[in-house]
Structure formats: C-alpha cells, structure tokens
A and B are shown apart, each in its own frame.
Chain A
C-alpha cells in the first residue's frame, strides 16, 4: 500500500501501479493532477491579471548624511517646497526626466507601469557618487573639494533614472560591452534631457556629463565628454574609437570607459540628423536589445530601427546613412547598410 509515501514516487511508477489495481496510487495520481491543474490555473490568472498601474509619483528622502536610504521623507508628489535646495532640485529634475520619457516616448515612469520615483539625497558624508540600485536613486553631496551635490545635476539625475529604464527594457548586463552600452544609454538620455532642460540647441550644447558636479578645484571640466571622449579631465581615459578599446578588468571591464565609443557615435549622429530623431532611434533600439547585446548587436539594431522609423516617415530619411557613417567613424562599421 502506498498511502502518503506515494507522493514522492515518480508519476510513471504511480501510473503503472494504478494500472495494476492499486487504488491508493490512483488516488494520489489524481490528487497530484488536480493540484498541478490548480497551480496552472492560478498562474494563468496571475499572468492575465492587469498589473496595478502607478502614476510615477516622486518621493524624496533625506539620508541625513548617514549611509542609509529612506531615512526621512521630505517631499512627495504635489508636496510643499522644502527649502532644501538639493531636495527641491531632486524633486524637480526627476519630474522633468519622468515627463520627458512620458511625453516623448509614452513611457509611464521608469518601468512603464508607473513605478514610484524615489530619490535619496544627502547620502553619507563627502560621498562622491550617485547610483541606481534596482529600485531607487541615491545621491551624495560630494566632498566639496572636487565634487558637489550630485542630486542637483539634471544630467546625473537623468543618467541614473535611465539606468532604471534600461533595467526594465533591455536589462543590459553590467559588464564588458553590454555594460558599456548600459552606461552609454544613460549618458545618451542624460545629455538629451540636459539639453531639453536647458533649452539648448545643438550649437549651444556642451555634450558634457557631470559638468555641474565638479568644482573649480577639480582638474577638468566634467566627468565625461560625449563630443570628445577622453578629454573631460586629467583622469579621463575614455576611448573614442575601437582602436583604443579598453581590454582590462577594472570598472566591470570598462563599463564607464568603453562607453566613450558609442557616445562619440551618438554625438556624430546628432550632428547629422538632430537630437530628437536620434533619441527616438536610440529609445526604440533599447526596447529591442537584449541582456548580453554587444557593440555590433547595437549597431545592427540601430540601423534596422532607423530603417523602420524612416520608412514610416517618423525620422529623417538620411538616418540610416547618418547612423552607419557615425559608427564607422568610431570603428564600428555596420555589417549590412
């Protein structure tokens, strides 16, 4: 007799024993089938159920110079101005970035499901960094010597928030070329949104990333330059061509280094067809890429996306040529043009 022990016996043995007249095994087999069916039905309901959509509400938390997130909520959506310049800037800039993605691409917040936008400011002491941790953004005040107030910089906020967008679209793996692409997309939307925020056209834009978070004492003008990678400061080693590709292991195999190569190509493409057409091509490409995509995958996808958008008259009919030419100039010629 099987009794409860039948549950750990493989189904084909249960089936054979049931065929031979074992009632207990037959019952167990039937129960197992019903449980599996119920599980599948529950799973189907779960998958079919419409997700609860949020509104992309903003929440700004003051970390009070501790190395902890969400210490004190200082401002939320439609809340009063706090008087803390950093808090109010983080609120305004994260709203600008959210609205840009919504109005330009129809994206409902970071995840297209209205995810709350959470900013942590005044993180730690002398903390020279900003990061996206998979759920929310966190900004340091800088050490005051070389870096200052990361949360107040529109390009930094757009860069970090774009990491979230990338996570929910292509989820590019954060190492080597896919990681450099992850960084590249954040710089792309960082610079595009900065130009929109400052009402700049191509001739006025500086194409710098993080120029407002470096102090006068800092040996350089910014963290990175999309126009001229490798020239933003004394430590800037970003290449602007595949000939100088970084093959080392530091920085997750150069995610902040090799992003200079596609960054330069983006800048060159913008000169040819304008920043709005490029932003659309890059956004649609991000939707089509996958976790392990490399530079060549990116170029092929960009060209394919540009061709489709141009044929729908949504962008310039010179886009395919412009993107191909720009990437060829940095040593990444498309295989099919």
Chain B
C-alpha cells in the first residue's frame, strides 16, 4: 500500500512529507481508524502541536486519516515513526 504522510505545524513549523510503500494490511488500517485516541486528548491548551495528514492508497481506493497531536492514536504514531525511520 502506498503511503504519504504530511506533518504540518509544531515547533518546526513547516510542512514535512514522507512517501513510500508500507505493508500495512487493510484490516490493520481499519483497526487504526477505530482504535482509541492519544493520552493527550484531554489537554485543552496545546502549543506547538502537529497536524497529521496520512493518505494510504490501495489500488484505486484512497484512505485519508487526519489528526491533531491530541487526537492521534498511539498505534498510528508508531506506524508513522516506522515509516519515517524506514
């Protein structure tokens, strides 16, 4: 599955984009869309938090996930980390 992550905002400020292929399964993707959110979600005053825009393309099907720093599920952060590091 093709992925494209766009991370905007944060202390760094400018947008960063990561693109490539991942072996995430459709089941895993669906699970990511459902799983619980970050432990930061109750924080109301947030400064330098990032915005995450993740696009996954599987043949013709496009899945888009958008999160703020407070909302993003930890499992999805782990996925993004592995994609950035890979």
Q: Are B48 and A163 in contact (CB under 8 A)?
A: yes
Cβ-defined contact, B13 with A256, below 8 A: yes
State whether A235 touches B15 (Cβ < 8 A): yes
Of B19-27, B55-63, B73-81, the one touching chain A: B73-81
A66 surroundings in chain B (CB, below 8 A): 74
Q: Does B47 contact A (CB under 8 A)?
A: yes
Interface residues of A in 223-243 (CB under 8 A from B): 223-224, 233, 235-237
Q: Is residue B34 contacting chain A, with contact meaning CB distance below 8 A?
A: no
Q: A276 an interface residue at 8 Å Cβ cutoff?
A: no
A124 touches B81 (CB 8 A): yes
Among A69, A131, A159, A223, max chain B CB count under 10 A is at: A131
Q: Are A127 and B12 in contact (CB-based, < 8 A)?
A: no
Chain B contacts for A186, CB-based, 8 A:
47
Cβ contacts under 8 Å, A251 to chain B: 8-9, 13
Is residue A312 contacting chain B, with contact meaning CB distance below 8 A? Answer: no
Contact residues, B32-81 vs A (CB, 8 A): 38-40, 43-50, 69, 74, 77-78, 81
Select one of A67, A143, A150, A237 contacting B74, CB under 8 A.
A67
B10 lies within 8 A of A128 (CB): yes
* Whole-angstrom distance between the Cβ of B50 and the nearest chain A Cβ: 6
Establish whether residues B43 and A135, one from each chain, have CB atoms under 8 Å apart when the complex forms: yes
CA distance A133 to B82 in the complex (A): 24
Question: For residues 266 through 296 of chain A, which have their beta carbon under 8 Å from a beta carbon of chain B?
Answer: none
CB pair A182 B47 closer than 8 Å: yes
Of the candidates B16, B48, B77, B78, the one whose C-beta lies within 8 Å of that of A160 is B48
A250 touches B43 (CB 8 A): no
User: Which chain B positions have C-beta within 8 A of A160?
Assistant: 11, 47-48
B33 to chain A, nearest CB (A): 18
Q: A223 touching B44 by the CB < 8 A rule?
A: no
B16 touches A128 (CB 8 A): yes
CA distance A182 to B45 in the complex (A): 12
In the complex the two chains form, is B78's CB within 8 Å of A129's CB? Answer: no
Give the complex CA separation of A2 and B55 in angstroms.
63
Chain B contact residues: helix, strand, loop or mixed:
mixed
Q: Which residue of A lies closest to B16 (CB)?
A: A128
Question: Within 8 Å of chain B (Cβ to Cβ): is A332?
Answer: no
Which of B11, B39, B50, B74 interacts with A223 by CB under 8 Å? B11
Judging by beta carbons under 8 Å apart, are A68 and B44 in contact? no
Residues facing B in A118-148 (CB within 8 A) are 124-135, 143, 147
Instruction: Determine if B84 is an interface residue (Cβ-Cβ < 8 Å).
Output: yes
Asked if residues A174 and B14 are in contact (CB atoms below 8 Å), the reply is: no
Q: List, in ascending order, chain B residues with CB within 8 A of A262's CB.
A: none
Contact of A299 with B by CB under 8 A: no
Give the shortest distance, in Å, between A143 (CB) and chain B (any CB): 6
A223 to B84, CA, bound (A): 19
Please name the residue on chain A nearest to B9 by beta carbon. A251
In contact, A126 and B39 (Cβ under 8 angstroms) = no
Does A156 reach chain B (CB closer than 8 Å)? yes
A210 at the B interface (CB under 8 A): yes
Which of B48, B50, B69 has the most C-beta atoms of chain A within 10 angstroms of its own C-beta?
B48
7 A–B contact pairs at CB < 8 A?
A127-B81, A128-B7, A131-B10, A143-B84, A186-B47, A210-B12, A236-B14
Enumerate chain B interface residues (CB-CB to A < 8 A).
7-16, 38-40, 43-50, 69, 74, 77-78, 81-82, 84-85
Other A-B contacts than A126-B81, A128-B12, 20 sampled, CB-CB below 8 A, are A125-B81, A128-B7, A129-B11, A130-B48, A131-B48, A132-B47, A133-B40, A133-B43, A133-B46, A134-B45, A135-B43, A174-B47, A210-B11, A210-B12, A235-B15, A236-B14, A237-B14, A250-B8, A256-B11, A256-B13
In the complex, the 5 A-B pairs of residues with the closest C-beta atoms, listed nearest first: A134-B45, A256-B13, A235-B14, A125-B81, A163-B47
Residues of A within 8 A of B (CB): 66-69, 124-135, 143, 147, 150, 156, 159-160, 163, 167, 174, 182, 186, 210, 223-224, 233, 235-237, 250-252, 256-257
